Structures are given as structure tokens and as C-alpha cells.
Homo-oligomer: A and B are copies of this chain.
């Protein structure tokens, strides 16, 4: 973990190490509030300030350690920056499933070719919402 920070010229502070570890261990995307509560739960890092959490999250986003996800839930979520993918989120229980799709990337390329105002797309966000099998039952 210290490597990840050092590569980017970030000081390896306890707060940064703790927050990075939380993301490495987490199976799901986390909002600042989730991270903050997780820190408070531990003995060692319970005194890390909320402002520090926010500052660390945006630092990590800038350094491509994390990526931001907008689930339209009032707060912004983050996850470790890995291969490009999308999410399906359950309306009811918030379960998140990840998926990749080369088909989507291809379709997006076609869209730009038809556009009169744009030549290429730099970013896109695609979020799917539905009810998971558990919640349907």
C-alpha cells in the first residue's frame, strides 16, 4: 500500500493507509460516510477527521487510485480504480453487480460517428437499476 502512495508522491500517513485498506478490503463501492464510519469502528483510526476522509478521497481520485461513481443516491461513491466496467444496482437492497461489455463500447463509437457536434467521447457513465433476484422474490 505504501508503494501505491509513494508512486504518486503522496505521504504515507495513517489516514491514507487506513482509507486505502478499507477500499482494498471492501467488496462494494463506498461513500465518504461509509469510510468514515468504518474508521470510527476501529480502535487505531477512530480519531480520523471527516474532512480528512473527504480530502483523501479526492486526492485518491485525482491520483487514479479510486474512481467516482454516481448512483444517484445523494452522495458520491468510490471504488478502487480498475478495468473499465459498469454497475447494476438493486433499487431495494443496493446490491451492486459489476459487468463489462465490449458491445457497449462499440455502440458508443457508432453514436459519435453520427453526431453533428461531437467527434469523440472522452468519458461516459452508464448505471443500470433494477430489482435483484432476492428482492423480486
Per-position binary interface string of chain A over residues 106-137, scored 1 when its CB falls under 8 Å from any chain B CB and 0 otherwise: 01101110111111111111111111111010
Whether a CB of chain B sits under 8 angstroms from the CB of A51 is: no
Q: Are A101 and B107 in contact (CB under 8 A)?
A: yes
Q: Are A117 and B133 in contact (CB under 8 A)?
A: yes
Contacts A70-B70, A88-B121, A133-B118; is A108 near B128 (CB within 8 Å)? yes
Q: Report the copy number of this chain in the oligomer.
A: 2
Q: Are A104 and B107 in contact (CB under 8 A)?
A: yes
Query: Which residues of chain B have C-beta atoms less than 8 A from A99's C-beta?
Result: 111, 114-115
Q: Are A121 and B130 in contact (CB under 8 A)?
A: yes
Q: Are A97 and B72 in contact (CB under 8 A)?
A: no
Q: Are B111 and A101 in contact (CB under 8 A)?
A: yes
Q: Are B124 and A126 in contact (CB under 8 A)?
A: yes
User: Which 7 pairs show the lowest CB-CB distances between chains A and B?
Assistant: A123-B129, A121-B130, A103-B107, A124-B128, A126-B126, A122-B130, A121-B128
